[in-house]
Amino acid sequence: MFKIKNCWGKEFAWDIVVQLMDDDICEELHLTTEENEIQEFYNLYCKKHKEAFEETFELEKINPQI
């Protein structure tokens, strides 16, 4: 099972992370990111999420509400 770390060092299971992501942003990034670079994908997603919605992705917050 893949896990990622947010900017605060908290780990999350990838299957949970994906459920919270925006489909359009994921599709855009899927075309530019290698499958085995899950952490990089997550980091890029957080950047794109902030640009698109002008807010921090929930899992990047110090106390994410999931």
Counting the structural domains of the chain, the total is 1
Which distant-in-sequence residues (6+ apart) come within 8 Å of 37 by Cβ? none
Question: Across all residues in the chain, what is the average pLDDT?
Answer: 91
Take residue 39 and report the two structure tokens written for it.
Answer: 């952490």
pTM metric for this prediction: 0.88
Mean pLDDT of 8-26: 95
Model pLDDT, residue 33 = 66
Decide if 11 is inside a domain: no
Decide if 1 is inside a domain: no
Domain that holds residue 46: 22-59
Which distant-in-sequence residues (6+ apart) come within 8 Å of 17 by Cβ? 4, 42, 59
Decide if 42 is inside a domain: yes
